[in-house]
Structure 1
Amino acid sequence: MIEVKHLTKSFGEKTVLEDINTVFETGKTNLIIGQSGSGKTVLMKNLVGLLTPTQGEILYDGRDFVQMSKKEKVAMRREMGMIFQSAALFDSMTVLENVRFPLDMFSSMNYNERVKRAQDCLDRVNLIDAQKKFPGEISGGMQKRVAIARAIVLNPKYLFCDEPNSGLDPKTSLVIDELLSSITKEFNITTIINTHDMNSVMGIGDNINFIYKGHKEWQGTKDEVMESTNEKLNALVFASDLFRKVKQAEMKGEKL
């Protein structure tokens, strides 16, 4: 579990996040949503230590990340997995070598153990047959699955995903969403996903944080989204004709 208490982040005189209080729950997919410029990316960067809050606390299972020494933060980051907007794979490495890379850097396993662990993670994302291929030889969706395998290879307690469905078609996005959700529950990870994808919100939103102009405007589940009377949230989530019709039908007790 990650607790955020009274988190504020300013750049000079401009306050981008103000008094954010929330909890990201273990074993659930915790989504951060909001319009561009709302502050959700800044929030995630504070969570992983790329930025330092102006004030406030970030507690990883009770441990205040903000107050940790540099050495303690380095150790803490070994408990984190990261999936970037682009898959961020090494083009000169095979799929297996990409997944094995964190183990080569941080694990005390011998070579055969590292290979076996990487293969197990590739098997978990249904890509074991692609282990000898290079990133340029596989699709964008497969690259994202490799990135997921790499992110979980060190058995992280906390998994951070920045727009994991960016650039993917709806069908592939659904595959990625389901994979992230099942891995979260299987390994009891605290997963935080920064997303613009409203399909993800309605599909895997166990715990949704809506950020609006630097403030936490709303928090709830995907089911509670349907019942929300928050106009700002509804304007974001139900902007498309399809989601608007779903919302209207739900309010009338109808089924599409």
Structure 2
Amino acid sequence: MIEVKHLYKSFGDKEVLKDINTVFEDGKTNLIIGQSGAGKTVLMRSLTGLIDPTKGEVLYDGRNFVNMNKKEKILMRREMGMIFQGSALFDSLTVLENVRFPLDMFSDMSALERDKRAQECLDRVNLNGAEEKFPGEISGGMQKRVAIARAIVMTPKYLFCDEPNSGLDPKTSLVIDELLSSITREFNMTTIINTHDMNSVMGIGDNIVFIADGKKEWQGNKDTVISSRNKKLNDLVFASDLFKKVKDVELAQED
């Protein structure tokens, strides 16, 4: 579990995060949503230590990441897996070598053990048979699955995903969503997903944190988002005609 307490972040005179208080739960897909510029990317980067918050606490199972020294943070990051928006695969490495890379860098496993573990993760994301291909030889959806396999190869407690469906067609996005959700439950990870995809909100939003103008405006799940009376949230989630119709039906039933 990750607890965020009174988190602020400023860049010069501009206050981007304003007193964020929330909890990201184990074994659930925790989504951060909001308009562009709302502060959700800054929040995720503050959680992972890519930027330092101005003040506040980020507690990983009670351990305050903000106050850790450099060595402690390096050790803490070994408990994290990360999936970047553009997959961030190494073009010159094969699929298997990309997945194995964190093990090559940080584990004490033998070469045989590293290969076995990397293959297990590829099998878990249904990519057996693609081991010797290079990233440029596979589709965008397959590249995302390679990125997921690499992110879980060290068996992280915490999984961070930055726009994992970016650039994917709707069908492939659903595959990635279901994969992330099932892996989260299987390994009881704390998964945090920064997303613009409202299909993800409705499909896998076990715990949803809505950020607007640097503040936490609303928190709930995929079931309660339908009945929300928060106008800013409704304007974001129900912008499409399809989701607007779902909202209209919900309101009609309430009346």
Normalising by structure 1, what TM-score? 0.98
* Residue identity opposite 1:4 in structure 2: V
- CA separation in 2, counterparts of 1:253 and 1:12? 48
The 2-side partners of 1:5 and 1:253 are apart by 37
Aligned to 2:223: 223
Aligned residue for 1:105, secondary structure, equals helix
User: What letter corresponds to residue 250 of structure 1 in structure 2?
Assistant: E
Residues 1-256 of structure 1: pairs in structure 2 closer than 5 A: 1-253=1-253
SS in 2 for 1:130: coil
SS at match of 1:82: strand
Quote the Cα distance in structure 1 between the aligned partners of 2:21 and 2:250. Answer: 30
* Shift of residue 55, structure 1, vs aligned partner: 0.5
Following superposition, the deviation at residue 246 of structure 1 comes to: 1.1
**Distance between the aligned counterparts of 1:21 and 1:52, measured in 2?**
16
Tell me the secondary structure at the aligned position of residue 208 of structure 2. strand
- Mapped partners of 1:176, 1:86: distance in 2: 14
SS in 2 for 1:129: coil
In the TM superposition, residue 253 of structure 1 has moved relative to its aligned partner by 3.6
What SS does the corresponding residue of 1:68 show, helix, strand or coil? coil
Please give the alpha-carbon distance, in whole angstroms, between the structure 2 residues aligned to 1:253 and 1:232.
22
RMSD (CA atoms): 0.8
What one-letter code is carried by the residue in structure 2 that aligns with 1:63?
A: R
Q: Once the two structures are aligned, what percentage of the paired residues are identical?
A: 80
SS in 2 for 1:226: coil
The alpha carbon displacement at 1:179 in A equals 0.2
**Mapped partners of 1:253, 1:7: distance in 2:** 38
State the 1:249 CA deviation: 1.6
User: Matched residues in 2 for 1:51 and 1:94: separation?
Assistant: 31
CA deviation vs aligned residue, 1:74-114 (integer Å, no higher than 9, x gap): 00000000000001000000000000000000010000000
What CA distance in whole angstroms lies between the structure 2 residues aligned with 1:104 and 1:53?
A: 31
What is the alpha-carbon distance in structure 2 between the residues aligned to residue 13 and residue 136 of structure 1?
A: 43
Q: How many angstroms does 1:13 deviate by? A: 1.0
Q: Secondary structure at the match of 1:59?
A: strand
Give, in angstroms, the shift of residue 12 of structure 1.
1.1
The separation in 2 between residues aligned to 1:137 and 1:252, in whole angstroms, is 50
Count of residue pairs brought into register by the alignment: 254
Cα distance in 1 for residues equivalent to 2:50 and 2:40: 14
Runs (4+) off by over 3 Å: none
Residues 132-186 of structure 1 show CA distances to partners (whole Å, capped at 9, x for unaligned) of 1100000000000000000000000000000000000000000000000000000
> Aligned partners of 2:15, 2:252: CA distance in 1, in Å?
41
CA distance, structure 2, for counterparts of residue 129 and residue 251 of structure 1: 49
The Cα of 1:128 is off from its aligned counterpart by: 1.1
Secondary structure of the equivalent of 1:223? coil
Superposition TM-score, scaled by structure 2 size: 0.99
Deviation at 1:247, TM superposition (A): 1.1
Deviates more, 1:57-66 or 1:244-253: 244-253
SS at match of 1:224: coil
> Any gaps of 5 or more consecutive residues in structure 2?
none
Taking the aligned partners of 1:77 and 1:236, their CA distance within structure 2 comes to 32
